[in-house]
């Protein structure tokens, strides 16, 4: 009786630790997402739109989940250094110029990435601040 009680207690503790770890991570992601949304409204919404719908052929949409997935490790570079040349997003070609945001701190970039990769139909989960430095080393 006592043994089962301890076993149950042990199990519950472990479960709650795992659960709270997960939710701590979730809380962090939510925080990134919310701050990322504020940054997005301030720096990006003018071109990419409130719902990530883009602007005609002047600015591409952020609703192409495949593009954002395939280029996930390049997103930090795009935000920091801007982007030009021809790219294909959501089946359309874009030949524009996105300005650089080189004044943004790594944490801002991470929060923006969490926001754009988890809104407008995207659902890629967390992207940590430490990842920004790593990704920026590989910019082309």
Partner 1 sequence: MKYLSNLSIPVFFAILFCLTSCKNERKLPIYGEREAKTIKNEDGTTKTDSIYQTIPDFKFLNQDSVLITNAKFKDKIYIADFFFTSCSSICPVMHRNLKSIYDNYKDNPDIMYLSHTIDFKYDKPSVLKKYAQKLGVGPQWQFVYGPKEEIYGIAEKNYLVAVMEDKNDKDGYVHQGWLVLIDKDRRIRGAYDGTNPESVAQLTKDIPVLLAEYKK
Comparing CB distances to ligand HEC, the nearer of 84 and 138 is 84
Sequential DSSP letters for 51-119: TS--BTTTB--S--HHHHHHTGGGHHHHHHH-EEEEEEETTEEEEEEEPP-TTS-HHHHHHHHHHHTSS
Q: Which residue has the tokens 């519950």?
A: 12
Comparing CB distances to ligand HEC, the nearer of 14 and 64 is 64
CB 102 within 8 A of CB 83: no
35 φ/ψ angles, rounded to the nearest 5 degrees: -65, -40
Q: How far is the CB of 133 from partner 1 (least distance, A)?
A: 25
70-99 binders of ligand HEC (CB under 6 A): 75, 78-79, 83-85, 87, 89, 94-99
Instruction: Choose, by CB under 6 A, the member of 49, 101, 128, 129 that binds ligand HEC.
Output: 101
75 binds, among ligand HEC, partner 1, none (CB under 5 to 8 A by kind): ligand HEC
Stretch that binds ligand HEC, among 1-9, 19-27, 45-53, 131-139 (CB under 6 A): 45-53
Q: How far is the CB of 79 from ligand HEC (least distance, A)?
A: 5
CA distance 57 to 110: 27
CB 122 within 8 A of CB 116: yes
Tokens of 73: 């490790």
Q: Smallest Cα–Cα separation from 107: which of 68, 79, 88, 81? A: 79
Does 67 help bind ligand HEC (rule: CB under 6 A)? yes
Which residues form the interface with partner 1 (CB under 8 A)?
Answer: 46-47, 49, 55-59, 96-97, 99
Q: Which residues bind ligand HEC (CB under 6 A)?
A: 43-44, 46-48, 59-62, 64, 67-68, 75, 78-79, 83-85, 87, 89, 94-99, 101, 112, 116
């Amino acid at each position: 009786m006592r043994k089962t009680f301890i076993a149950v207690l042990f199990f519950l503790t472990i479960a709650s630790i795992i659960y709270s770890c997960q939710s701590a991570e979730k809380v962090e992601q939510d925080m990134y997402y919310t701050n990322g949304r504020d940054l997005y409204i301030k720096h990006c919404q003018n071109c990419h739109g409130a719902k990530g719908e883009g602007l005609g052929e002047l600015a591409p949409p952020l609703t192409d989940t495949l593009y954002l997935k395939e280029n996930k490790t390049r997103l930090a570079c795009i935000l920091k250094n801007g982007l030009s040349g021809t790219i294909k997003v959501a089946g359309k070609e874009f030949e524009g110029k996105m300005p650089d945001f080189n004044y943004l701190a790594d944490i801002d970039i991470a929060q923006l990435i969490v926001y754009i990769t988890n809104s407008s139909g995207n659902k890629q989960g967390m992207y940590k601040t430490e990842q920004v430095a790593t990704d920026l080393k590989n910019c082309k």
